[in-house]
Amino acid sequence: MQDEKQARKPTLSEVAALAGVSEITVSRALRGSPSVAGKTLHRVEQAAASLGYVRNRLAGALAGGPSNQVGVILPSLSNIVFPDVLKGLEIRLDQAGFHPVLGISNYDPQQEEQLIHNLLAWRPAGLVIAPSGMTDVSRSLLAGAGLPVVEIMDIDTDPVDMAVGMSHRGAGGDMARHLMAQGYRRFAYLGHDIERDRRACARLTGFREALSEAGLILDACVSLAEPSSVTLGRRGLKQLLAQSDQRPDVVYMSNDDMAVGGVFHCMAQGIRLPQDLALAGFNGLELGQTLPVPLTTTATHRTRIGEIAADCILERLAGREPARSTDVGFTLIAGGTA
Amino acid sequence: MQDEKQARKPTLSEVAALAGVSEITVSRALRGSPSVAGKTLHRVEQAAASLGYVRNRLAGALAGGPSNQVGVILPSLSNIVFPDVLKGLEIRLDQAGFHPVLGISNYDPQQEEQLIHNLLAWRPAGLVIAPSGMTDVSRSLLAGAGLPVVEIMDIDTDPVDMAVGMSHRGAGGDMARHLMAQGYRRFAYLGHDIERDRRACARLTGFREALSEAGLILDACVSLAEPSSVTLGRRGLKQLLAQSDQRPDVVYMSNDDMAVGGVFHCMAQGIRLPQDLALAGFNGLELGQTLPVPLTTTATHRTRIGEIAADCILERLAGREPARSTDVGFTLIAGGTA
DNA sequence: CTGAAAGCGCTAACAT
DNA sequence: ATGTTAGCGCTTTCAG
């Protein structure tokens, strides 16, 4: 080891000098090129270690070498959903020696555009984005970036490059059909700040469409202008029930966090599930499935979305051509709350 | 806008040519230097926009400009705890125009060491790490990196540079004293793969110490070799109760996820909380506080840790000297389960 | 307020 | 298997 405070980090040429070879040989050796003699390799590694050499990938990438950074833009980290996706991304990227560079858009198209610009400035190897209403500028930045781009979560819209996700509209429709099949007829919806969450919006649209096809309607539809949470679901359901003169048969909640809040409200009020009131959520979080009565919901494959998105980037970088759109599907869980 | 597929991105000199000024003037203009005439600035911005210019920060950073990347190493993303910390980091970093570059160590010191090396290769402006048993090499890499480093979560050990967190040992001790004050005498502990989670370990240590000081002991101590989860807590409590010939008064669970699982087990079995059995967790997750009976636990200030860690990095970069160690504390929540 | 020169540390391309 | 040459695109000096 060397001094604790080395102001200037050692460079390739210093390693080269110590090892008695040229810079390029050190470069090749340290990058694991097969065309370096075992003996040379060893000597270079020794020299690098003894100097505490740490490769400068800024210089490498600028000189035309590959980057191992992948830009990742997500709308939020508050709910476990996006960390789950990020986990899948990270696992696969890490295996390939890549790192996610993160940006959070807060569901704001302007922030999103800014982030795309900022992340592109680092010339990443690829970009993964859970879109929040991309602007034309955003789209054109991505189209012109000349790198693999994966839009995740949703496959209801046409992607700039690639897409991995599921149909939220389809999920909403399927849940509506499932609930109708259970015999429910009076439907209500309780959502969080749905203006900003286009995917929650798409589910509601699909839900409505399916009801409509069966000649039914949504009796009540409440959206609260706050991010989703268990607390909000609990409070929201209380409010929804208070303001309905006739209690609905079933409430479709914008996601599991909200739905679990609803379940807790019912528990506290002695409202029996599903006899007195039925509830359905979305996401299939562990939380909802571990309740004494498992939540009726739609399980999504979040980590899988992340993994596949990473694979798309890596495949493309390897010169192959991944599917333009990948549907990871979803699974309706007929739990005990509806 | 320009062609969808621009193979080579425009460079500073192209913008300069179009604007009729020198490269350096464009550089200054685009970085918002005050010493650029308003008229020139405008012309440069026009030129940049019309070419779809995206700054290359690789080149900028290599040439000695500042980096706006901050390496972030976390042990896991599976539990909401670290995403919460990451959220706090991201908020503050984003405000300052910085981005986190992420690495997940999986609680493995070797992976951690590798990550530190990889992230340092990008010459980030700073590094934030939730340590997982740092090796000597890790420590020496950080010490010699010549950049601000913040170790987060824990302040029980001496940091290489700066630390932001709380005393987990203290939290365990406080909970033990709280439970003893409630009159409980037969204590049990239920943990997840605690070998890997040094902070959970520290809490248990503090818990034991406090019992010991009062002349009490831990009657049962079960650790399951799996990551913590609601499911594991539910299953684990069942197992723990089955194998105890005399039921404990109270079970200290390694965290809230585990504890909520325990609560669900009790609900399902008709075990009354806290009369028949008391439970306590750790973290103060929303989940536990929204249960019909709020969980007794220790609230941690996770997002705050992230925010302060980011501030430490930014302060140091601004030339100021932040506190070497920041204790964000914790708050014991005397809920209804103990 | 603007510019010219020099070089950050590395790697691709072309030798040998 | 190793070396030489020539930048990558920007920003830091240092000059006006």
Rounded CA separation A164/A102 (Å): 18
CB contact under 8 A, B62 and A59: yes
Which of A7, A57, A104 has the CB atom closest to B122's CB atom? A57
- Output the distance from B66 CA to C1 C1' rounded to whole Å: 23
Task: Report the 10 Å Cβ neighbour count for A5.
Answer: 9
B13 CA: nearest nucleotide by C1' = D9
Rounded CA separation B217/A299 (Å): 43
For residue B316, pLDDT over 60 is answered with yes
Dihedral (C-alpha) A126, A131, A137, A139: value to the nearest 10 degrees? Answer: 60
- Output the distance from A26 CA to D2 C1' rounded to whole Å: 10
Rounded CA separation B194/A333 (Å): 32
Residue of A nearest to B71 (CA): A101
For residue B279, pLDDT over 90 is answered with yes
Residue of A nearest to B8 (CA): A146
Interface test with B, best of A50, A79, A122 (most B CBs within 10 A): A122
User: Is the minimum distance from the CB of A62 to strand C below 7 Å?
Assistant: yes
For residue B44, pLDDT over 60 is answered with yes
User: Is the minimum distance from the CB of B268 to strand C below 7 Å?
Assistant: no
User: Is the minimum distance from the CB of A60 to strand C below 7 Å?
Assistant: yes
Write down the pLDDT at residue B7.
60
**H or E stretch at A83:** helix A81-95
Write down the pLDDT at residue A7.
60
User: Is the minimum distance from the CB of A146 to strand D below 7 Å?
Assistant: no
Residue of A nearest to B111 (CA): A94
DSSP 8-class letter at B114:
H
CB contact under 8 A, B118 and A99: yes
Average pLDDT over residues A13-22: 93
User: Is the minimum distance from the CB of B52 to strand D below 7 Å?
Assistant: no
Residue ranges, CATH 1.10.260.40, chain B: 2-55
Write down the pLDDT at residue A6.
57
Please give the share of chain A, as a percent, with pLDDT higher than 90. 88
**H or E stretch at B250:** strand B250-253
pLDDT tens digits, one per residue of A265-313: 999 899 999 999 999 999 999 889 988 899 999 999 999 999 999 999 9
- Output the distance from A149 CA to C13 C1' rounded to whole Å: 29
Write down the pLDDT at residue A196.
82
CATH number of the B2-55 domain:
1.10.260.40
As a whole number, the mean pLDDT across chain A is 94
Write down the pLDDT at residue B317.
95
| CA–CA distances in Å: residue A111 to residues A148, A157, B64, B92 | 21, 21, 28, 15
pLDDT tens digits, one per residue of B109-151: 999 999 999 999 999 999 999 999 899 999 999 999 999 999 9
Interface test with B, best of A6, A68, A77 (most B CBs within 10 A): A77
> First and final CA of chain B: distance in angstroms?
63
Chain B hits for A83, CB-CB cut-off 8 Å, are: 77, 80, 82-83, 86
Looking from the CA of B40 toward its CB, the CA atoms found within 13 Å total 19
Average pLDDT over residues A46-69: 95
Write down the pLDDT at residue B1.
41
CATH class of B168-300: alpha beta
Q: Quick one: which residue's CA is nearest to D6's C1'? A: A63
A40 CA: nearest nucleotide by C1' = D1
For residue B49, pLDDT over 90 is answered with yes
Rounded CA separation B172/B170 (Å): 5
User: Is the minimum distance from the CB of B24 to strand D below 7 Å?
Assistant: yes
For residue B228, pLDDT over 80 is answered with yes
For residue A292, say if its preceding peptide bond is cis, omega within 30 degrees of 0.
no
Residue ranges, CATH 3.40.50.2300, chain B: 69-165+302-323, 168-300
Nearest to B306 by CA among B285, B326, B286, B283: B326
Collapse the DSSP code of B70 into the 3-class scheme (helix H, G, I; strand E, B; otherwise coil) and give the result: strand
Angle at B221 between CA B278 and CA B266, to 5 degrees: 30
pLDDT category of residue A4 using cuts at 50, 70 and 90: very low
- Output the distance from B145 CA to D7 C1' rounded to whole Å: 28
Burial of A218 (0-12, 13-18, 19+ CB in 10 A): middle
| pTM listed for this prediction | 0.94
pLDDT tens digits, one per residue of A220-245: 999 999 999 999 999 999 999 999 88
Bigger pLDDT: B104 vs A196: B104
Average pLDDT over residues A119-142: 96
* Backbone CA torsion sign across B56, B60, B61, B66: negative
Average pLDDT over residues A191-203: 89
Chain A hits for B9, CB-CB cut-off 8 Å, are: 146
CATH number of the B69-165+302-323 domain:
3.40.50.2300
* Structural contact between residues B226 and B254, judged by C-beta atoms closer than 8 angstroms: no
Chain B hits for A57, CB-CB cut-off 8 Å, are: 121-123
For strand C, give the nucleotides within 7 A of a protein CB: 1-13
CB contact under 8 A, B87 and A80: no
CB contact under 8 A, B56 and A4: no
Strand partners, A336: none
DSSP 8-class letter at A8:
S
Write down the pLDDT at residue B19.
93
Interface test with A, best of B73, B283, B287 (most A CBs within 10 A): B287
pLDDT category of residue B75 using cuts at 50, 70 and 90: very high
For residue A174, pLDDT over 80 is answered with yes
Bigger pLDDT: A48 vs A6: A48
pLDDT tens digits, one per residue of A63-72: 998 999 999 9
For residue B2, pLDDT over 60 is answered with no
Least confident among A5-14, A136-145, B143-152? A5-14
Task: Report the 10 Å Cβ neighbour count for A274.
Answer: 20
For residue B56, pLDDT over 60 is answered with yes
- Residue at B213: amino acid letter: E
pLDDT tens digits, one per residue of A147-157: 999 999 999 89
Least confident among A137-146, A174-183, B191-200? B191-200
Collapse the DSSP code of B204 into the 3-class scheme (helix H, G, I; strand E, B; otherwise coil) and give the result: helix
Chain A hits for B286, CB-CB cut-off 8 Å, are: 229-231
CB contact under 8 A, B77 and A100: no
